[in-house]
Chain A
Amino acid sequence: MSRKSPADIAAGCIRCGFCLDACPTFKLTANEAESPRGRIYLMRHVLDAGRPMDAAALTHLDNCLGCRACEAVCPSGVQYGLLIEGFRARIEEEGLRPSAEAGARGMLLDTLTDRGRLGASLAGLSMVAGILRKAPAMPGLFARLLTGGQSHEAAVPLSGTGRSGGHLPAFTAAVGRARCTVCLLDGCVMSVLFANVNRATAELLSHCGCNVVCPHSAGCCGALDAHAGRRERARQRARALVDALECADYDVLVTNSAGCGSTLREYGELLADDDRYAARAAALGARTRDISEFLVELGVEPPTGRLDVTVAYHDACHLAHAQRITSPPRALLRSIAGLALVPLAESDLCCGSAGTYNVTHPETAAALLERKVANIIASGASVVAAGNPGCIAWMREGLARAGSTIRVTHTVELLAEAYRRGASQAEA
């Protein structure tokens, strides 16, 4: 496939405006410069006319959530994600940001993408957030965000009660005859803050007949870096991961984090200019599947355990827009007996979490969260399911602040619980 230059990608925008109503920042402001079409126009100005990027243009590009809702509806196939990531890289590489802010952003990303540091430095992070945050801090928000906000007790028991850390075993055998071997990444944020989701994923895969390998040498995939424009750092991480996974023996690489999955799938693009890695990176991308999509493709028996809950499904941006995965998670949820899946208005409108956006742009993120919370409450659901850790933590925070008892969980946790109940009924 021939690669398009950023100028060519931007030129593909025919200004039809079909993306405007999908764009969260445009919905909130009605400002053309806060719309995909407007942002592309500003980028085009810089690309075609070779004009330097001024501070105001930078603000509009910075305000973009990177949710890629625009890309999913664009009839002209404009690869907006590539375009904005390229611009973000340029902003970083050309040092266009004030240095205190750049430093704080850097620290935040380093910490979030480094397991060891993340576990140890919640306090330091609140300080970083203070520098980036233009509005007064929301009490306790950041700490809760980072701990996954598990403040309420589960009405439906959730998988794994462990709240901090803990690696997955290097190998988990399939229950029964193995159908295939799956590699599961332990991730960065996931392993520290969402260890229970990782455990539920491994359990679920094993229950569905997959051997699960989890190479501990594999580190962060670089998603947060790539989305934030730290492309070199993302490339380093990508190369390391490609190397690490080549030693492992597996059929499919499965992720339960939408942000990681979309980045892994685009590894070929990220390392396209690296002769040694380009092909291997693309091959790794081609072997990557989101857990929901993988289970549907594999074709699994529905769980026999019942879960009598009303669930609303939230479409994480990097699942619905970047990977276009919307029906598999819903199909899996519907396969659970007793579970009622109710529609969620604006289910694919970004919740505002968007990587580190909720720290760098607290006001917009809070406005989107409020809108999400209102839609969730109106849906009548008692549980919200989603496929991305950032969204889960952020929506938990929003619901807690609204005084709601609605719980937010990963799709995988509900499935694992249904299988677990089925298994214990069979034993009893």
Chain B
Amino acid sequence: MLRADQVLTDSVEMLAYECDAYTIHKGRPDVVVHPESTEQCAAVVRLCARMGVPFTPRGTGTGLSGGATPLYGGVVISIMRMNRVLSISPADLRLRAQAGCINSTITRAVAPYGLHYAPDPSSQTACTVGGNVAENASGPHTLKYGVTANHVTALTLVLPDGSVVELGSDADEPCGYDLVGLLVGSEGTLGIVTEVTVRLTPNPREVRTLLAVFGSVDDASRAVSRIIAAGIVPCALEMMDSMIINALEDAFAMGFPRDAQALLLVELDGLGPGLDAETADVSDLCAEHNARSVTAAASEEERARLWFARKQGVGVLGRVAPNKVTQDGVIPRSLLPEVLARIRGIAESHSVRLCNIFHAGDGNLHPCVIFDERDADELRRVLVANEEILRLCVEVGGSITGEHGVGVEKRDAMPLMFSEADLAAMRRVKSAFDPAGLCNPGKIIPGPSAEAAPP
């Protein structure tokens, strides 16, 4: 079925697979396999099904909610060797790739045609398109172009009993149940995606990238609310606070003012005069909210540099403290200033260190709490503060996760958002696909199915 080099069992190797980028919960697999085709993947799943062994799909393991952590041991099915682009149809704006293909590889592959793959998570140079499908990943440009769900048209899926199905089609208007839609965001609990067809997006004709510097987070968030209220849809609207600015300065000497309290990175695309007018409007709105300066990237290099800063902005936190938990709450954009202030209050009351780098435009907050897991008391305070921040997001009418998934991290917070009846409906969907409960058990849905270890 598999060659020896496709199967790992050594205990040291198992240790390396005991978590993803979220390290609070861990679970050690018994075996890790590296299938190289859909058939091999299906064969492994069939074997697991026959023997009643749990299995967990894994991409690059950049997930931030413990999705790829094998909570109950068993087999980790790593799709990293299935990393090829299979076909490109520029005219139809479609590309088909194996699920282990790295996100940025897709954009690189279609660049010669003036196209790109729009979902651009900050982790795009690392994460897989399969992991993106599982988490319904998004990125800065999601604000205008939509999340992964809007860009996936078809999938090859290995069901938890080991059979293989093709979902969706290349057509723009699918018929029948939208099972692709169901699979996107299912966090590896409904089966293993082995191939993906994605929609490609033509590169914008013209882009303007603005950097606005603010003396207070409050001013910056009011500016965001105003830009959105004015009916402007930037293709990206991102905020970074002073801790991030300083970490970036330490790491890369970007030239940002160290005493700034917030930066807004605003990107607009479109055509000539309309674009110029919108750019001017955004500048004015920032200025009205006391922006210290608003500058436009003068060249493609400068633009790339600003985006580099944004995409490294979470990673640089490792320079400040060894561990971090990135929250992922979504809130109504109109409440941005108020919610940010309340989150600051929560952090202060529990003496935890907190910073913000997030997709301001769609209200997807990423308060990052940084800590040292070797300090037990700090860890405890972090967990309490996290819980309060989640509650706050729900209380103001938002959601506990925007793009990082529920995984194990937020599983037990699901009842904050959903009634028992809602959760029961989810459980029924799960058991329709996976009656034996072997596919990535312990994720997303709390309660009976999460608590009971599979046989």
Contacts and interface: CB of A to CB of B under 8 A. Distances in A.
Nearest 3 A-B pairs (CB), nearest first? A75-B315, A76-B318, A11-B322
Contacts of B324: 14
Kindly state the interface size class of chain B when it binds its partner: 35 or more
B102 A75 contact: no
A157 interface: no
A116 interface: no
Interface string B67-80: 00000000000101
Most interface-central of A32, A54, A57 (chain B CB within 10 A): A32
15 contacts: A14-B21, A14-B314, A17-B61, A17-B126, A17-B127, A21-B102, A21-B126, A31-B16, A32-B17, A35-B16, A37-B61, A75-B318, A76-B319, A77-B251, A77-B319
B316 A76 contact: yes
A11 B318 CA distance: 8
Contact of B315 (A8, A37, A38, A76): A76
A21 B322 contact: no
B15 A15 contact: no
Nearest to B319: A77
B449 interface: no
Interface of A: 8, 11-18, 20-21, 29-33, 35, 37-38, 41-42, 45, 48, 54, 56-57, 60, 73-78
Nearest to A59: B12
Contacts of B318: 12-14, 16, 75-78
Most interface-central of B16, B315, B374 (chain A CB within 10 A): B16
Given A11-B322, A75-B251, A75-B312, A33 B12 contact: yes
Contacts of A21: 102, 125-126
B401 to A, nearest CB: 18
A33 B61 CA distance: 13
Interface of B: 5, 8, 10-13, 15-17, 19-21, 23, 32, 34, 60-62, 78, 80-81, 102, 123, 125-127, 251, 312, 314-319, 322-324, 372, 374
A162 to B, nearest CB: 44
A227 to B, nearest CB: 23
Nearest to A76: B318
A10 B139 CA distance: 28
Nearest to A78: B318
A78 B322 CA distance: 10
A60 B126 contact: no
B20 A14 contact: no
Contact of A16 (B11, B19, B314): B314
A77 to B, nearest CB: 5
B16 A41 contact: yes
A30 B316 contact: no
Contacts of B11: 56
Given A11-B372, A33-B12, A56-B12, A18 B21 contact: no
A42 B323 contact: no
Given A16-B62, A16-B123, A56-B10, A30 B322 contact: no
Contacts of B62: 16-17
A137 B69 CA distance: 42
A341 B231 CA distance: 49
Contact of B322 (A12, A17, A57): A12
Nearest to B308: A75
A315 B74 CA distance: 42
A51 to B, nearest CB: 10
B306 to A, nearest CB: 15
